Amino acid sequence: MTLTKSADLVLQAERTRPARLTESLESLAALRNDGLTRSAERDLLLAYSPWARALNEANLHITVRPEEIAAAAEAYREVAGLLVTKLDWPNDTIRILPQGSASTQTLIRSPFGGEKFDVDAVCQVDISRVAAQDPMGFFQSVGDALEELEAEAKKRCWNIPFPNRPFYLEFTPSVPLNNVSQYTMESMAPRYRAAFAYRATALAVVDTPTERWKTSNPAGMTKWIDDTAKRPLIRQVSMETAVLREAKAEVVPVPEQAVEITDTLRVAIRLFKRHRDMCVRRGIIAGEAKPISIIIVTLLTSCYEGLADLGRVYAHPVELLDDLASLLAHLVLKLEDQYRVDNPTVEGENFAEKWNHDGGTRYRAFVAWCKALSADLKTILALTEPQEISTRVREVFGIPAPTTDGTGLSSARYPAPPPTRPGRGLA
């Protein structure tokens, strides 16, 4: 049988990882057997529910909701309007679309609030109809048009701060490659080629350090994640309603809600990204060496895809999360002494390129993070009291306890205002 690349990756990882997190845990070992009866499956659902509930609470807290992202659309329009006006481009030459975590629904909040979230947007320009064709001229013309928004140049995008909004915009000028002529394509000579399966959505963006065009494919990436996330890996999902109904009939305490975290790939991406951010807060990894989100996304999606390709089935999302976490550290390829996390949508692009030129700092940080993630999940899965599970999940993922608006507090009358107090001198 020919294995897919992702399936092969998973098999390799399985050979090198020490064990599943739950394997040694007595509380869960009994639940892990094949040929479950219906009532055993129900027991399993109930048994997993405290973890699922706690992880779901964390997931809900960190997720930037679609409506918040939609609010950024207004900002896109503002930017588009400026470009059309300032650059004198025809209205229909540009399209602005969200990309990255904003389009894959994996955008998360920073721990303890305070920091803005970044919305990535790509601005697609039909280059055959506009004047600027050399990469740096094209990039700069976009930046010049955005001057009044105080856009700041980064490696491949313009960062627009949007002071009074909860996000900033990372705005990447790009050229769709599917309709440029062969001649234009040759003159652009972008670094890397679009992977065949995702050619329709390939773009060229400007890589300012090399001053060259570079192939990119955010829409292809989004599609890959969407398609993968839809593949069923959880057996229980389809059965849950029946199981729960049966459970109710027998007056067994049931979870109040249906099985949570079933969108397990996205949940894993969000939770693991958040865990990485918390590891920076905890000093386990240095901020500048932390694994970048696209690496986490690529590894998790490849792993999920590989598990699906191998026909694996999980009884519960918690078990799948367990597998994803314990396999993660073993999913990075090392070929010819080079770390590799390949972009599935752009041939030859290695997201882990920097890992090969930093004396091992980033790889060590990645491994340390994976180790911390496994250790934390193992601690959580070893707990049995729902309250303890919930508390530990909050600690690990930096989730504040639920809040109320304090309206139940009794009101009190103020006494007369105090007389003016003397100020303090410096001493």
Partner 1 sequence: MSLANLDLTSVQQHFPDLLPSALSRDRGATAYRLRLPAFPSGRAFGWAELRLPKGFPEHARAEIVLSPDAVLRVPHLDQAGVLCTDGDPGPGSGHSPEDRILLLLQAYQEHFLAPWLAGGMDGDFAAEALNYWAIEVAQSLSHSDPVRAVWTVDPCPAEAIVRQGLLLLPERIVIAADEQLPITNRLIRSMGKGASQHIGVLVADIPISHTLTPGTWPRTASDLDLILGGRLKPAEYEMFRSATSRRGRRIHRVVLLRSSESAFAYLLPGGPPTVVDDGKRKKTYPPLSRPLPLSAVRLDPDWTVGRDQHPEVADRQGKRILVLGAGALGSPVIDHLAKAGVGFITVVDADDLSPANIGRHLLGAESIGKRKASAAARRVNLGYPATVVTPHAMTAESWLKKHALSGVDVVLDLTGDPDVRWYVDQARQEHPCPLLIGWMEPYVAAAHACLLPPQTPWIQGSRDPLNDLEAVSWPDEVIRREPGCSSRFQSYTAAAAAHAVALVTENALDLIDGADGSATAQVVSWVRGQHFLDKHWPGLALRDWALPAAPHEGLILTRPFP
Which tokens sit at 324? Answer: 């994803």
Q: Residue 278 interacts with partner 1 (CB under 8 A)?
A: yes
Which C-beta is closer to partner 1: that of 248 or that of 282?
282
Which C-beta is closer to partner 1: that of 59 or that of 264?
59
- Binding segment for partner 1 (CB under 8 A), chosen from 110-118, 226-234, 300-308, 338-346, is 110-118
**DSSP three-state, residue 225:** helix
Residue 108: enclosing H or E segment and its boundaries? none
Beta strands in 220-368 (DSSP E): 333-335, 338-340, 346-347
Which residue of 403, 424, 425, 426 would you call a contact of partner 1, by CB under 8 A? 403
Which C-beta is closer to partner 1: that of 42 or that of 276?
276
- Contact between 280 and 286 under an 8 Å Cβ cutoff? The reply is yes
**DSSP three-state, residue 341:** coil
- Minimum separation from the CB atom of position 256 to partner 1 (A): 14
Site residue total, partner 1 (CB under 8 A): 45
Which residue of 287, 348, 384, 385 would you call a contact of partner 1, by CB under 8 A? 287
| Of the candidates 229, 223, 234, 309, the residue with the CA atom closest to the CA atom of residue 267 | 229
| Of the candidates 301, 309, 292, 304, the residue with the CA atom closest to the CA atom of residue 350 | 292
Q: Residue 106 interacts with partner 1 (CB under 8 A)?
A: no
Those residues with Cβ within 8 angstroms of residue 364's Cβ, 6 or more apart along the chain or in another chain: 289
Q: What CA–CA distances, in Å, run from 106 to 66, 71, 301?
A: 10, 16, 12
| Of the candidates 203, 224, 5, 6, the residue with the CA atom closest to the CA atom of residue 96 | 203
| Of the candidates 395, 46, 58, 27, the residue with the CA atom closest to the CA atom of residue 243 | 46
Q: What is the DSSP string of 411-424?
A: P----PPPPPPPPP
Which C-beta is closer to partner 1: that of 3 or that of 375?
375
- Minimum separation from the CB atom of position 395 to partner 1 (A): 6
Which C-beta is closer to partner 1: that of 25 or that of 280?
280
Q: Residue 390 interacts with partner 1 (CB under 8 A)?
A: yes
Q: Residue 368 interacts with partner 1 (CB under 8 A)?
A: yes
- Minimum separation from the CB atom of position 39 to partner 1 (A): 30
- Binding segment for partner 1 (CB under 8 A), chosen from 94-102, 237-245, 272-280, 305-313, is 272-280
Q: Residue 394 interacts with partner 1 (CB under 8 A)?
A: yes
- Minimum separation from the CB atom of position 279 to partner 1 (A): 7
Which residue of 36, 280, 292, 382 would you call a contact of partner 1, by CB under 8 A? 280
Q: Residue 404 interacts with partner 1 (CB under 8 A)?
A: yes
With vertex at residue 345, the alpha carbon angle to CA 154 and CA 8, rounded to the nearest 5 degrees, is: 125
The Cα 218–Cα 346 span in angstroms is 10
- Contact between 188 and 180 under an 8 Å Cβ cutoff? The reply is yes
- Minimum separation from the CB atom of position 363 to partner 1 (A): 11
With vertex at residue 326, the alpha carbon angle to CA 352 and CA 344, rounded to the nearest 5 degrees, is: 35
- Ramachandran region of residue 311, left (φ > 0), alpha (ψ -120 to 50) or beta? left
Q: Site residues for partner 1, window 166-225 (CB under 8 A)?
A: none
**DSSP three-state, residue 386:** helix
Q: Residue 369 interacts with partner 1 (CB under 8 A)?
A: yes
- Minimum separation from the CB atom of position 157 to partner 1 (A): 23
Which C-beta is closer to partner 1: that of 303 or that of 372?
372
Spell out, one character per residue from 317 to 356, where the chain touches partner 1: x when CB under 8 A holds, - when not: ----------------------------------------
Which residue of 405, 423, 424, 425 would you call a contact of partner 1, by CB under 8 A? 405
The Cα 378–Cα 325 span in angstroms is 10
- Binding segment for partner 1 (CB under 8 A), chosen from 41-49, 218-226, 336-344, 363-371, is 363-371
- Binding segment for partner 1 (CB under 8 A), chosen from 41-49, 89-97, 142-150, 275-283, is 275-283
Contacts to partner 1 by CB under 8 A:
112-114, 278-287, 360, 364-365, 368-369, 371-372, 375, 387, 390-391, 394-395, 398, 400-406, 408-410, 412-416, 418-419, 421
